[in-house]
């Protein structure tokens, strides 16, 4: 007995066309995977602003706030003002003297950043930490 399988040219051609159409449709499908890009600033772009010394954001740069606090001598709050308008307040307890800023707070080029808070015993104790990025 001959148990060989015989395939016609038409069914082979249709099978190849169907397989090709499936591969083409799979190649055009995109997989929606979220991409998270984190920016790690260069040390030269990191900035620490001290209370009592206003900071002007350089031309072509954007200041990104990362933390706000003080030297921890007697205060439990700090504030950051931009062009004289209070923008960010930070309250801390239990001996902590710094709190992380909410993501996304930025200050535009040419703006003046000043700090308040702390206490009369330490009028220059307030600090703001962040980094500069190009606009």
- How far apart are the C-alpha atoms of 122 and 52, rounded to whole Å? 11
Residue 130 is assigned to a structural domain of this protein? yes
- The residue among 114, 128, 122, 115 whose CA lies nearest residue 72 is 122
For the segment 24-32, the average pLDDT, to the nearest whole number, is: 66
Q: How far is CA 25 from the centre of its chain?
A: 36
The structural domain count of the chain equals: 1
Residue 28 is assigned to a structural domain of this protein? no
Residue 108 is assigned to a structural domain of this protein? yes
pLDDT at 76 exceeding the cut of 90: no
Residue 29 is assigned to a structural domain of this protein? no
Residue 107 is assigned to a structural domain of this protein? yes
Which residues are paired to 114 by β-bridges? 81
What is the pLDDT confidence band of residue 13, given thresholds at 50, 70 and 90? confident
For the segment 87-107, the average pLDDT, to the nearest whole number, is: 77
> Which pTM value belongs to this model?
0.65
Residue 13 is assigned to a structural domain of this protein? no
pLDDT at 79 exceeding the cut of 70: yes
Residue 48 is assigned to a structural domain of this protein? yes
> pLDDT exceeding 90 applies to what percent of the chain?
30
Full domain range(s) for residue 82: 43-134
- CATH number assigned to the domain comprising residue 58: 2.60.120.340
Q: How many residues does the chain have?
A: 135
What phi and psi values does residue 42 have, to the nearest 5 degrees? -70, 145
For the segment 45-62, the average pLDDT, to the nearest whole number, is: 94
């Amino acid at each position: 007995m001959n148990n060989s399988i015989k395939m016609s040219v038409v069914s082979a051609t249709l099978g190849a066309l169907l397989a090709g159409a499936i591969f083409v449709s799979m190649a055009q499908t995109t997989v929606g995977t979220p991409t998270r890009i984190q920016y790690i600033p260069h040390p030269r772009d990191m900035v620490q602003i001290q209370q009592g010394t206003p900071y002007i954001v350089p031309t072509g740069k954007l200041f990104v706030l990362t933390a706000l606090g003080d030297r921890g001598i007697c205060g439990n709050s700090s504030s950051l003002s931009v062009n004289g308008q209070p923008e960010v307040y930070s309250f801390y307890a239990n001996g902590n003297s710094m709190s992380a800023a909410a993501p996304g707070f930025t200050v535009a080029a040419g703006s003046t950043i000043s700090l308040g808070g702390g206490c009369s015993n330490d009028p220059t104790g307030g600090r703001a930490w962040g980094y500069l990025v190009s606009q």
